[in-house]
Amino acid sequence: MTGREKEGVEYGVYKVVKGRNNKDGERGDSKWGDCYPSGEVSGATDGSQVLVAFSSSLVDLNRRLISKGEVVGMEAFRPNVVLEGGRAWDEDRVRAVKFKRAVLRGRKLCHRCVMCTVDRGKGEWGGFRKGFEPLKTMRGFRCAKDERYGDSPIFGLNAAGEGKISVEDGICLGILGRGSNLGITNIADGYK
């Protein structure tokens, strides 16, 4: 096989949440401007048109957290689209996700802030009381070498695209790329 589209992975579409309209924003910024090709617009590169998360990544993270007496739900990461199937941390290698009537292209990996420590059900910030989980655990294996990510661990894929996505789509296809990064952002050789 040659080219960028090496192989495909089928995912089950399990959750779709309506995203916000970023058409009035500027194209990227000085830190992440190279993530978006010419003509594509996002209101904020850290809040791309769509945040895609992979359920298998959450399963792996919770496997690591359970020994500490913690688990986290997908809602902590606030994705617009959650995909079932594939391998843990597919966000590192999926370049695009094709649906029946839409395509999402990965623009950058999503680096996580302290908001994923908030218990949304109780409205309580986890922070110091919970030892900054799941951030602390993810910092042990999900921090990119690219200095733009700093010490923020990665969970999910910031994406942009066109078309309509629906839970009724049932199955979508993840188009994989070579290596463990998004070629367009060249985020170095992997993780610290």
Percent of the chain residues topping a pLDDT of 90? 24
Cis, bond preceding 134 (omega within 30 deg of 0): yes
What token pair was written down for 164?
């309509």
Say which CATH number the domain at 52 has.
Answer: 2.40.33
Residue 183 lies in a domain: no
Average pLDDT over all residues of the chain: 75
Ramachandran angles phi, psi of 9, nearest 5°: -125, 130
For the segment 91-126, what is each residue's pLDDT rounded down to a tens digit?
888 888 999 999 998 888 898 988 888 876 777 776
DSSP per-residue letters across 123-143: TEE-GGGGTTTTHHHHHTT--
188 assigned to some structural domain: no
Indicate whether this model's pTM tops 0.85.
Answer: no
Domain membership flag for residue 73: yes
Contact at 8 Å (CB) between 104 and 50? yes
* Count of CB atoms situated within 10 Å of the CB of 122: 8
Domain that holds residue 41: 8-176
**pLDDT (0 to 100) of residue 98:** 93
